[in-house]
Amino acid sequence: MARRLRPVGTDFVDTAPVRLVFAREVRAAPERVYRALAEDVPGWSAWFSAVTSARPTELGREVRLRGGTRFEETVLVAKEPEVYAYRVDATNAPGLRALAEEWRLTPAGGGTRVQWTFAVDGTAVLRLLLTVGRAGLGRAFRDAVTSLDRRLVAG
């Protein structure tokens, strides 16, 4: 796999050359959403359709996506029930130089406002593809969070 990416910290979420930010309100409480994100790592494949498998590692997670993309990640922030953030340390995805994601949870209307920031540095072609593909990534986020909410409210 392993092409190492530039290690970044939490500030990268605010300073990355490409920042895609999506938000959605769900019925589940922030604590339940946080636990699903941070503690039930293998459960990601049940609600995020792009994820085929995820497993915890000593410092973070190993994630596999549809199409064969793989990520080795380090958790940067795990502050229950407010923030869960991680960076990608190694991947087989072309064009990436640095990638971090932040999930920010705030109480809203008896449930949770889930905000996901996808922060990237990469080649000019990758930056263009992400900008053009923003709507598709937003749809994937909305579908995933809706599926997660159904799962949490039902169970």
| Residue pLDDT, tens place only, 62-111 | 999 999 999 999 999 999 999 999 999 999 999 999 999 999 999 998 99
Domains and CATH numbers, the chain: 3-154 (3.30.530.20)
- Range 135-140 average pLDDT: 95
What's the chain's average pLDDT?
A: 96
- Residue 133's identity, in one-letter code, is G
Distance, CA of 61 to CA of 73 (rounded, Å): 5
Q: What confidence tens digit (pLDDT) does each residue in 20-31 have?
A: 999 999 999 999
Q: Which residues contact 19 (CB under 8 A, 6 or more apart)?
A: 13, 117, 118, 119, 120
